[in-house]
Amino acid sequence: MGRSRKRGAAQQDGVLVLDKPGGPTSAGCLNTIRRALDQGKIGHAGTLDPMATGVLLVLLGHGTKLAPFLTEGPKTYVGELRLGVSTDSYDAQGEVVAEKPFDHLSPADVESAVLDWEALTTQDVPPVSAAKHEGRPLYALARAGKDVPVKTKAIEIYRVQVLETALPLVRFRVTVSAGTYVRSLVHSLGIRLGCGAMLTALTRERCHPFGLDQAHGLDDVVGKPEEFPGRVIPLRDALPHWPLATLTGEQAGAVRNGTWLPVAQAPAPGATGAPGERVMLADPDGTPLALAEAKERDGSVYWSILRGLW
């Protein structure tokens, strides 16, 4: 059995909102922070393709336990697409597989087709992606020259805006459900228009509940280590949309033992306590203790522990 990595004195607990640069992978950005700032326990909530820039939520220390709850929210992107060119990866970093004329299309035709994204409920997963088939990522199958199975997934498109149209280029903003591939939206648009299309630029403006206005550039983060702790959003504030219930010492001890607490005995300001509602539980000094969800049992409603944070 391997040894667990000893926690270093520099390890932070919380969320760093990173403004990812174009070029490196999300994992590459994490490795840079890990090495430069001695962050042995590090992860992220929602990857970005190498070409993409913008909000990447970097999870540090106990903050890595928040991943499932930070990846599930909607995300907003600003992107640019180019008509007339199709690639194997659905973006400008792939190999060109077809070029077709687009001059039969008017700007109004194209803008209407982009706005039609709001009606989509499923999409094909790009063949060059980290999605897996029988344990192997699709990009590995594609690079090995093997057949890549077509995978579809359910999506929700909350809002679409066309920002600028100068054919063959179109700039747009789109807010989507977690896991939606914007380059697949662009690829499907090209199919519907009959000319093909690829994604040429993408910036994630918001990964709920954090936005670019809270983000820090990678060079600034690693180049100013003395400012790093102040850039990290502490656990207590890492889920600002979750109400906080402060417990008594006795209640905190019960939670550490996995006990369900009656909602009425541990109210959270801003929470109704209705079944399905989720809150953060904190010990008497305000230190986050656990994430919990209200559930019915034996005719009463209790806080059921979703994830311990101690």
89 lies in some domain: yes
Query: In this structure, are 163 and 92 located in the same domain?
Result: yes
Residue 60 falls within a domain, yes or no?
yes
In a domain, 169, yes or no: yes
Residues 27 and 91 in one domain: no
Q: Which residues are catalytic?
A: 49
Rounded Cα distance, 32 and 124, in Å: 32
Task: Cite the DSSP H helix spans in the chain.
Answer: 26-37, 67-70, 107-115, 138-143, 182-193, 218-223, 228-231, 249-256
252: in domain: yes
Token pair listed for 130: 């980290």
Give residue-wise pLDDT tens across range 198-219. 999 999 999 999 999 999 999 9
pLDDT for the residue 2: 42
Q: Which two tokens stand for residue 150?
A: 């077509």
Q: Which backbone phi and psi does 120 adopt, to 5 degrees?
A: -75, 140
| pLDDT tens digits, one per residue of 118-176 | 999 999 888 765 555 456 555 554 556 666 666 788 999 999 999 999 999 999 999 99
Claim to verify: residue 67 and residue 160 sit in the same structural domain:
no
Is residue 256's pLDDT more than 50? Answer: yes
Q: What integer pLDDT is reported at residue 125 of this predicted model?
A: 85
Do 43 and 131 lie in a common domain? no
Same domain for 149 and 296? no
User: In this structure, are 186 and 124 located in the same domain?
Assistant: yes
What is the chain's alpha carbon radius of gyration, rounded to the nearest angstrom?
22
For residues 178 and 101, state if they share a domain. Answer: yes
The encoded tokens of residue 94 equal 């792939």
Residues 125 and 189 both lie in one domain: yes
Q: Are residues 165 and 281 in the same domain?
A: no
CATH of the domain at 301: 2.30.130.10
Residues 44 and 55 in one domain: yes
Please compute the mean of the pLDDT values over residues 106-114 and round it to a whole number: 98
The SS3 assignment for 70 reads helix
Same domain, 68 and 214: yes
Does residue 229 belong to any structural domain of this protein? yes
Alpha-carbon dihedral sign for residues 292, 297, 301, 302: negative
Q: Which residue, 67, 71, 30, is CA-closest to 208?
A: 71
Residue 239 lies in a domain: no
pLDDT in tens, 62-95: 999 999 999 999 999 999 999 999 999 999 999 9
pTM: 0.90
Q: Which domain holds residue 264?
A: 244-308
What sign for the dihedral angle of Cα 218, 220, 226, 230? negative
Res 131: pLDDT: 55
Query: Do residues 239 and 69 touch, judged by C-beta distance below 8 A?
Result: yes
Q: Domain with 112 in it: what CATH number?
A: 3.30.2350.10
Residue 3 lies in a domain: no
> Contact, 171 vs 186, CB < 8 A?
no
Q: What contacts 15, CB < 8 A, 6 or more positions away?
A: 45, 57, 58, 59, 60, 63, 66, 70, 210, 232, 233, 238
Indicate the number of domains in the chain: 3
- Flag whether 23 is in a domain: yes
61 and 138 in a single domain? The answer is no
* Alpha carbons 29 and 10: distance in angstroms, whole number: 18
Nearest to 188 by CA among 94, 138, 130, 113: 113
